[in-house]
Structure 1
Amino acid sequence: MTAFVGILTALAGGLGAACRMFVDAALNRRPRTIPIGTFGVNVTACLAMGLVSGVALAAPGDTVWLGVIGTGLLGGYSTFSTAMVESARLLRAGRVRAGLAHGLGMLLVSLVALLAGQGTGLVLLC
């Protein structure tokens, strides 16, 4: 990796973090029983990462862009640790069903979103 690619990845990470802040705020405008903002951010990040990795699988070659987009932009955008803090907060508050639904539901939906993105990426290039 060159210094230029490292700088691009860092800038993409900052952009991803800013996007996360705006999307999370937009989704959390109304109070809900489950924090939907982080859930939505992580699911859309997995969908996008699936799409990017699906394209990379269908058209192997120079993968510098994959690192900049995947590691940088989508790494800055997704927020798995925050999601787990939110799940733990719900569990500690005695809201076991909500905590489990949030944590396990996000994992399942995110995995399905990633697989759907990969499938779409593969289909687009075939």
Structure 2
Amino acid sequence: MMMFLLVSACGGLGAVTRFVFNTSIQQVWKRGFPLATFVINLIATFCAGIAAAAFAFHTVDHGTYLLFVTGFLGGFSTFSTAINEIVSLARDGRRRLAALYCALTIVVPLLCVAAGWSLIALTR
């Protein structure tokens, strides 16, 4: 029960952090590309790569991994918002931008996970 509550609390912290990042980026970025969600998901996937490597190399325990990845990063990252933004761009007739955003949303986070993993793996 305690782990459930802690993961929930970390998820709430992640969601609040996402809100702060999203609001801050949107105040500056006024273009059609949904930069806020993209940046948030890049940060989250990079951190997920670091966490996965740290867990795999026994640098952190399972509980810490769950709190950070399932809790905080689960609340922070927002793949569903990215998909909704892709659909909205396509519905607005901006299909090329939607296709670009879709491709970037799939490919770049994979690279970020790999980069995060490599950062930890190289220090081993």
What range is the shorter-chain TM-score in?
A: over 0.9
| Structure 1 segments unaligned to the other structure (5+ residues) | none
> Is 1:94 the equivalent of 2:88?
no
Q: Deviations over 1:59-110 (max 9, x none)?
A: 2673111111000000000000001000100001111110011121111111
Name the amino acid aligned to 1:10.
Answer: S
Normalising by structure 2, we get a TM-score of: 0.94
Listed as ranges, the matches of 1:71-90 within 5 Å are 71-90=70-89
For residues 61 and 83 of structure 1, do their structure 2 counterparts lie closer, same or farther at Cα, with a shift above 3 Å needed? closer
- Structure 1: how far apart are the matches of 2:69 and 2:60? 16
RMSD of equivalent CA atoms:
1.2
Q: Is the 8 A contact 1:13 1:74 kept in 2?
A: yes
List, as ranges, runs of 4+ consecutive aligned residues in structure 1 with deviation greater than 3 Å. none
Q: Is the 8 A contact 1:53 1:121 kept in 2?
A: no
For residues 61 and 120 of structure 1, do their structure 2 counterparts lie closer, same or farther at Cα, with a shift above 3 Å needed? closer
| Structure 2 segments unaligned to the other structure (5+ residues) | none
Q: Deviations over 1:16-66 (max 9, x none)?
A: 000001111111113112010000001100000001111111126731111
Identity of aligned residues (%): 29
Normalising by structure 1, we get a TM-score of: 0.92
For residues 61 and 40 of structure 1, do their structure 2 counterparts lie closer, same or farther at Cα, with a shift above 3 Å needed? closer
Residues matched between the structures, number = 123
Q: Is the 8 A contact 1:42 1:80 kept in 2?
A: yes
- Structure 1: how far apart are the matches of 2:69 and 2:33? 27
